Every structure is written in structure tokens, then in C-alpha cells.
Structure 1
Amino acid sequence: MVKELESNDGKSLITIINNNYNSMSKGQKLLAKYTLDNYPKVAFMTASKLGETVGVSESTVVRFANALGYTGYPKFQDALQELIKTKLTTVERVEMSNTEYPSDSIILEKVLKDDIDNIKETMETLSQVDYQEAVNLVMSARKVYIMGLRSSIYVAKYLGYYLNYILDDVRIIRMDMGEPIEQMIKLSEEDLLISISFPRYSKKTLQVVKFAKERGAKVLAITDSYNAPISKISDVVVTVKNNMVSFIDSLVPAFSVANALVIGVAMREKDDIKAYFKELESIWEKFETFE
């Protein structure tokens, strides 16, 4: 049975296809049926691959996307990926991995290529204005709180580790230290919460962002889409692509964007950082920290 997939305007994918089905050509109807039956696969298939699988031309695939209201197949594919990312269970992701990685010989190359593609797409879609505003938010905050749940915690720790070299008060929200809101009880309008969230989106992350906004704090969202739950209530959104057909997420682009944020802040504070690391070097030498 096909799951209901809701688009941004509230219409389900099934409804959109059914509303346009009668006006479609024979080839487009074949594509419609295949899409409804295999939407997780279609979301990551090229137009030529989809056409080959269904038995129609690539141009028919493009016209199919147009018939559904998209300006081209990539837009249809992007929308489908965005819709399913939050709905695929871990079991479904494992099943998709079996299809995408049929043999050990291609895993390394394909995983690295997927990470490269995600970085390239992040470069193409991430707004320079949003990036600069993100750096401004970090620079103007009294305290910076950073939160990422599940696998995103590692991006949060990485970002917090390096920002702590530059800024006076950086705090990483940790689940082993109690409820996030308890750790943010002194949060005020002078502070910033950096929230890192990727599908499947955590409800707790959204709850914490809402709490921060109620306290008047600024919120910087690092997530995959402007349509992500936290994006809609954050002050600045930095978008990072993380598509990977697997039960794991591609966090490589998130670490790259974290690097860019750290360096952006560091360049504003380079004189202080130089003095800080000079002092650190003397301490490291005294305690024989490094070989």
C-alpha cells in the first residue's frame, strides 16, 4: 500500500498524480504508477534511469514532471526526496541500501561520490548571505549554545570544540547532562542557539528551538532544507545537503560547513586568536602535551 506523502501545500503526492492522471500520455501513466509503487527508488534515480526502467524515453520523464507542476525532473526529484526523507524508516533505508550497493566492490567509490555530490550541491545552494548572517549571529552572541541530537551530536561537538578556542562562552548541549532545557535555563535574548537537525527530524530539537525563541534568544539552524521544522522558526538557516541512500546520513557536508563557520568567526578575531594560541603553545610545551 502506498504511503501518503504530503507536499508543502498540503496535497499528497497521490492526490497530485491522480488529479493529473487522465490528462497524461500512455508513457506518463506508466511513470505515474511506477512512482507510486516505488517512490523511494524514484527519488534517487536519474531521469534516464527512470525512463529505462519503465520503458519510456528520457523526454517523457521530463514531461511527466512538468505534468505534475514541476519546472523539470530535478525539481520533481528534489521535492520527492524532501518528502520521503522524514518518512523512511531505518528498515526501509536498509532495504534501499541493498539495492544501491549490490556488491562490496562499488561501496567505497559510491559512498565517496555521494559525499562529493552532497558537498557540491551544498556549495551550489547555500546562500552566501545566510552564511554571513550566521557568522554575524555567532559574533554578536554573549553565549553560544550548540545542540545536535542523535548523529548530529558529533557535528555539534566538532563545531563547539573549535568555537571554544575563539569565543569566551560556548556550551554544547549534551543528553547525558540532563534535559536540554535544564542546561539552557539561563538562556536570554543576548544568547544564540545553534541547532543542528537532519532527517529524521527529532521532536525534541524542535521543542528546544521553540523554548529558545520564547526566551528571546536568536536561533541559527543548520539543516537540510528551508522546509525543515526548525527552519520555519529560526532567525538564520544554513542549508546543508545530506542525501545518501543508506541507513546512515552523509554528515561530511555538515562538517565542511562547520569548518566554514569556525574560520569565518576566526577571521574576525584573528589577533585575539594569535595571542590565545601563543599562550596555549607555551602551556603545551610546559606540560609536554605533544611529541
Structure 2
Amino acid sequence: MKGNFFQRIHASKENLTKKQMNLAQYIVHNYKKAIFLSSSELGRKINASDATVIRFSHALGYKGFSEMINALRSEFDGTISSVSRIELLHSPAEYQTHVDFNQIRECYAQAITNEYFEDLVENLLDSSKCIILGSESTASLAEYLNYHLIRYGISSDIIKDNSESIYKIYNEADEETVVISLSVRRYTKFQYYITERLIEKNMKVYSITDSIHSPYNSLNNKCIVLNSSTEEGFNHLSHSVLMLVLQEIIRKGIVNRSKDEIAKCFSLLEKYNEDVDVFLKNKF
């Protein structure tokens, strides 16, 4: 079946069940909310199961819910304001369902079996330098990973905005540099452009992104997609949680492969902490 989401509904309406028609009407009238809901959350809006939602996506000719919701998002991406994106958080009850930990476990299992995951850990240990890219909602995630890599003795820099430091980091990088680009919707032009330029310099570029439809998945880099084969949709907060979990596994992989060197780094770090009296003592 061809056409956009709305054209497919029009073409299929004679064959849809009553529940599926209710679902179609809800999405049409509430698309600003619907594009950020998982299949189970969407089903609850019309008192239906997530299986009903998945069958609905198949009835419209999509391979699954993920493909359907991504197609719908692509029609409105860039037109939904940041204010609209927090409409889902009206009540504490809705907020509590906003992180789907079952999906996180499933997607995490897929991510660590990705062909590039082990390769990333190995190259981080052998690299001359690491550059971490993040912007908007992934800027803080990039900072978090950068904080830990430095303490593991890895020479690491972060690019999170268009500042003067980019020129220095960019020009000091070579083919032995490992680049980790963290990206979720809405993707910024700045980060995409920098990632492209670093690929052109023949660096070892890894993108960790949120969808098979992400523009980073079509770049000539090693891409780890967090929900590439799930039937469920995936919301923004869940991706942030998953990225933090994934970073923890990356760090554990580094520690397991380089225990002695990291132990030395931590000894030096603790000596520094003692010398400059970093932490409060005997206060609580």
C-alpha cells in the first residue's frame, strides 16, 4: 500500500474494524500527542490492547507500529513545538508511564549485540583521542560520557555547540581518533554537519541514534540504532535512559579490558583529590 498515513486510512477505512477506526480517529484528531506515544499508551487511549494497535499498523500496510509512527512523525517533524512535546506530562500518572523499562531492556539487548558495539569498545582503548558529539537533549549525555572516559585515562573532548573550541578539536583529530555522535529527535543541523566532516577526515565515527529512519543511519559511519527492530514506539525520555545504560556498559567494557591502567588512573585521581581537598569529610 502506498501513500502517507492519512491517504492509507482513507484507502483502508472500509476494511478497518470498529476498534481500528476509533484508533484512526484518535490519531487524526490528536496527532500532536499520538506521535510521542508507545503502542500500549496509544491503545489505552481508546481502551484497546497494544496488539490492536500493531494490527492496525499492519492493516495500513506498515511492517509494524514503529514504521507507522515514524512515517507519521516524518510528516510533522519540525512543526511540533517543544511546548507541544511536553503535553504528555499533564498528570503524575501519565508521567509514570513515560519510561517503558521493558522496551529499554529489549532495545538494550539489541544494542549490545550490534556488530559495532564490541568494535567501539576496542577502538576506544586503542585510540589516540576520543571526540563525543551531542547537541540539545544529548549534550548532557555527551558530557556524562566524557566525564567518565577522562577518568579512565582516555584523552577525550566534547563538541556540543558551535564554539571556538571546535576549530582546535577538529584540527587536532586524526585517523586514529574515535568519534561518538549521540543523537535523538529532533536532529540538529550543526551536529549532523560536524559528524559528516569528521567522517570525511577518515576518523572512526560511531553514531548512537534512536531510529532506523535517523539521518545518521544513512551516513557512512558505524551506526548503533537503539530500537531498530521493535514493534513498539519509543519516546524521548526512554531513549535518554537507554543511552545512559548503554554508556554504563561501554565503561564496564573498557574497565574489563584495561583494569591495571585504569587502576593507576584512579590512584592518581584519588591522590589529586586528597592534595587539593576536593570532597567534604566527616561532615555527615
Match of 1:267 among 234, 248, 256: 256
Where does the alignment leave 5 or more consecutive residues of structure 2 unmatched? 228-232
State the Cα distance separating 1:117 from its structure 2 match. 4.3
User: Does the residue aligned with 1:237 lie in a helix, a strand or coil?
Assistant: strand
Q: Which string of whole-angstrom CA distances, capped at 9 and with x for unpartnered residues, describes residues 91-127 of structure 1?
A: 22133333xx2xx4x366445xx16345324324324
Q: Is structure 2 residue 49 aligned with structure 1 residue 49?
A: no
Match of 1:80 among 62, 69, 78: 69
Name the count of aligned residue pairs: 268
State the Cα distance separating 1:168 from its structure 2 match. 4.2
Q: CA RMSD in A?
A: 3.3
State the Cα distance separating 1:236 from its structure 2 match. 2.2
Q: Is structure 2 residue 170 aligned with structure 1 residue 178?
A: no
User: Does the residue aligned with 1:266 lie in a helix, a strand or coil?
Assistant: helix
Amino acid in the other structure paired with 1:116 = F
* 1:133/1:236 contact within 8 Å kept: no
Q: 1:77 to 1:37 in 2, by over 3 A?
A: farther
Distance of 2:18 and 2:274 partners within structure 1: 75
State the Cα distance separating 1:146 from its structure 2 match. 0.7
Higher RCO structure, 1 or 2 (CA under 8 Å, sep 6+): 2
Sequence identity percentage: 24
What does 1:60-209 align with in structure 2 at a 5 Å threshold? 61=53, 63-70=55-62, 75-77=64-66, 79-80=68-69, 83-84=72-73, 86-87=77-78, 88-98=80-90, 101=91, 104=92, 106=93, 109-111=96-98, 114=99, 116-117=101-102, 119-129=104-114, 130-175=116-161, 177-178=163-164, 180=166, 183-209=169-195
Q: 1:79 to 1:28 in 2, by over 3 A?
A: closer
TM-score by length of 1: 0.76
2:196 match: 210
Q: Which string of whole-angstrom CA distances, capped at 9 and with x for unpartnered residues, describes residues 143-181 of structure 1?
A: 111111112111111111111122442111243742735
Deviates more, 1:139-148 or 1:281-290: 281-290
